[in-house]
C-alpha cells in the first residue's frame, strides 16, 4: 500500500505511524507518507493530476499493474478489492467509483453518465445543470474522486496532460472528460452488495468545518449512518493506553452525566453534563459545566461552570471557570473562527487572556 500526501500534516503522519505500522516491507506491504514534491518544473502541485504526476517515480518503482487514486478529505468505507474486480471484469482502462446524489446537489461533484454495461459516456465536472440518472431522474451519478487506472495508461495520460499548457491538471476537469472518448472508462457503483464492507453507503466530504462537524455528529445518531461495529471490517486507528472514561460527582455533589455522547479513554466528567458530543482522550469536564453538541479534542481541560455549545475545541486547550462559548455569535466571532453554520472553532493551545 502506498500513501501519497500533498501537504505536511503532523497529525496525519502520527496517525499512520501509530495506527498503521502493521505491514511488513519484506512482503511488499507498506504505507509511505510522502511530503509534497517538485520533481517536474518549479511549482507546487497545480491540480490533482499534477500531484500524482509529481510522484510518478514512486508508481514506476512499485511495478504495480494497477494504481488506485484516493482523496484525503473524504470519510467512507470501501472494499477496494471489489472495485478492482469490477475494473478487471469489465476490461476497463480506468474505473471511477460513483454514487447517487440528489440531482440538485450534483453541481458540487463531477457527474457521470453510464450505459447499461457501466461504460461512462459523459463526464461533467461540477455542471450547472447535472444530467439525471436515466433510471431515477431525482438523482445524478456523482464521481467520488476514487479511481483505478491500469498503471501504464495512467503514466501515459499524466505525461500528456503535463505538456498541455491549457490544462488545469485535474482528473475531473481535464483527464476524464477527454479519456472517455478514446478509452474504456467504467463506473463502479458504491454501496452495492459486493465486497466485505456492509453497504451503508456513507460518504462525506469533510473539506469544510461544517462538514467535519456534521460527520462527528452523524456518529451520535441512534443508528449511525456509518456502521462502526462491523466486526470483520474494523476501522483502524491507534488507541492510547489510558484509564477508562468515567463520570463522577463534583465537589458540589452534582453527578457527572453524559447523554448520547462518545467518550474516549482517560476522559473524566466530574460533576459536569455532556450531551450529544464527541470527546477525545484525556478530556476533563469540571463541576456544573455543560458541553452540548460539540467536538472536544484530546487533552482539553474544561473548568467549573463552563457552557459550551456547537463548538470544535482543538487539542491542549484549558477553558477557564465560567466561560460561555457558542451562545453569543457576536462575542464568539470577536475571539474565534466561526463556520458558515455558526460552529465555533477554538484553535490548538488557545490562551484565554
Q: What is the CATH number of the domain that holds 319?
A: 2.160.10.10
**Position 159 confidence tier, pLDDT thresholds 50, 70, 90:** very high
**CB 319, CB 289: distance < 8 Å:** no
Q: Does some domain include residue 56?
A: yes
**Position 91 confidence tier, pLDDT thresholds 50, 70, 90:** very high
pLDDT, mean of residues 272-281: 97
Q: CA-CA distance, 78 to 189, in Å (whole number)? A: 11
Asked whether residue 277 falls in the same domain as residue 188, the answer is: no
pLDDT, mean of residues 266-291: 97
Q: CA-CA distance, 306 to 197, in Å (whole number)? A: 41
Q: Map residue 318 onto helix, strand or coil.
A: strand
What does DSSP assign to residue 174? Answer: I
| pLDDT confidence of residue 135 | 83
Residue 121 in grid coordinates: 459516456
The domain boundary, picked from 205, 228, 255, lies at 205
**Residue 8 pLDDT greater than 80, yes or no:** no
Q: Map residue 348 onto helix, strand or coil.
A: coil
Closest CA to 72 of 8, 25, 131: 8
| pLDDT confidence of residue 119 | 94
Closest CA to 211 of 72, 74, 86, 306: 74
Residues above pLDDT 70, as percent of the chain: 94
Closest CA to 185 of 52, 95, 258: 95
Asked whether residue 145 falls in the same domain as residue 275, the answer is: no
Residue 160 in grid coordinates: 500528456
Please tell me the total count of domains within the chain.
2
**Residue 7 pLDDT greater than 60, yes or no:** no
Q: CA-CA distance, 300 to 97, in Å (whole number)? A: 39
Q: Does some domain include residue 130?
A: yes
Asked whether residue 196 falls in the same domain as residue 254, the answer is: no
Q: Does some domain include residue 60?
A: yes
Asked whether residue 255 falls in the same domain as residue 189, the answer is: no
Q: What is the CATH number of the domain that holds 116?
A: 3.90.550.10
The more confident residue out of 220 and 5 is: 220
pLDDT, mean of residues 210-238: 88
Provide the mean pLDDT of the chain.
89
Helix or strand (DSSP H, E) at 141: strand 139-150
**CB 171, CB 189: distance < 8 Å:** no
Angle at 84 between CA 106 and CA 152, to 5 degrees: 95
Alpha helices in 272-351 (DSSP H): 329-335
Q: What is the pLDDT of residues 25-67, one digit of tens each?
A: 777 777 777 766 666 666 666 788 888 888 888 888 888 899 9
| pLDDT confidence of residue 198 | 72
**Position 317 confidence tier, pLDDT thresholds 50, 70, 90:** very high
Count H helices and E strands in the chain, helices first: 8, 24
Q: Does some domain include residue 103?
A: yes
The domain boundary, picked from 147, 175, 205, lies at 205
Closest CA to 117 of 189, 44, 191, 28: 189
Q: CA-CA distance, 232 to 295, in Å (whole number)? A: 28
**Position 72 confidence tier, pLDDT thresholds 50, 70, 90:** confident
Q: Does some domain include residue 163?
A: yes
Domain that holds residue 331: 246-346
Amino acid at each position: 500500500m502506498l500513501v501519497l500526501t500533498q501537504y505536511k500534516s503532523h497529525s496525519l503522519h502520527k496517525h499512520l505511524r501509530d495506527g498503521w505500522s502493521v505491514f511488513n516491507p519484506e512482503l511488499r506491504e507498506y504505507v509511505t507518507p510522502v511530503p509534497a514534491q517538485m520533481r517536474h518544473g518549479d511549482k507546487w502541485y497545480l491540480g490533482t493530476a499534477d500531484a500524482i504526476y509529481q510522484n510518478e517515480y514512486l508508481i514506476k518503482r512499485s511495478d504495480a499493474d494497477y494504481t488506485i487514486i484516493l482523496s484525503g478529505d473524504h470519510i467512507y468505507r470501501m472494499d477496494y478489492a471489489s472495485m478492482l474486480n469490477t475494473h478487471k471484469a469489465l476490461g476497463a482502462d480506468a474505473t471511477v467509483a460513483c454514487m447517487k446524489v440528489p440531482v440538485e446537489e450534483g453541481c458540487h461533484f463531477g457527474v457521470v453518465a453510464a450505459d447499461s454495461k457501466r461504460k461512462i459516456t459523459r463526464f461533467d465536472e461540477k455542471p450547472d445543470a447535472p444530467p439525471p440518472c436515466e433510471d431515477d431522474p431525482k438523482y445524478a451519478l456523482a464521481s467520488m474522486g476514487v479511481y483505478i487506472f491500469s498503471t501504464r495508461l495512467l503514466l501515459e495520460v499524466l505525461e500528456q496532460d503535463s505538456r498541455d499548457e491549457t490544462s488545469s491538471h485535474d482528473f475531473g476537469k481535464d483527464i476524464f472528460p477527454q479519456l472517455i472518448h478514446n478509452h474504456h472508462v467504467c463506473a463502479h457503483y458504491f454501496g452495492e452488495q459486493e465486497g466485505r464492507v456492509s453497504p451503508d453507503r456513507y460518504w462525506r466530504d469533510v473539506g469544510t468545518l461544517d462538514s467535519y462537524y456534521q460527520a462527528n455528529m452523524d456518529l451520535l445518531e441512534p443508528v449511525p449512518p456509518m456502521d462502526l461495529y462491523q466486526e470483520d471490517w474494523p476501522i483502524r486507528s491507534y488507541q492510547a493506553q489510558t484509564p477508562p472514561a468515567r463520570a463522577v460527582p463534583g465537589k458540589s455533589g452534582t453527578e457527572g452525566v453524559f447523554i448520547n455522547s462518545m467518550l474516549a479513554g482517560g476522559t473524566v466528567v466530574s460533576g459536569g453534563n455532556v450531551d450529544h458530543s464527541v470527546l477525545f482522550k484525556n478530556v476533563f469536564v469540571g463541576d456544573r459545566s455543560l458541553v452540548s453538541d460539540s467536538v472536544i479534542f484530546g487533552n482539553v481541560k474544561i473548568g467549573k461552570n463552563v457552557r459550551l455549545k456547537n463548538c470544535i475545541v482543538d487539542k491542549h486547550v484549558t477553558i477557564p471557570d465560567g466561560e460561555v462559548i457558542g451562545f453569543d455569535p457576536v462575542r464568539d466571532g470577536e475571539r474565534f473562527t466561526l463556520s458558515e453554520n455558526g460552529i465555533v472553532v477554538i484553535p490548538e493551545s488557545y490562551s484565554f487572556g
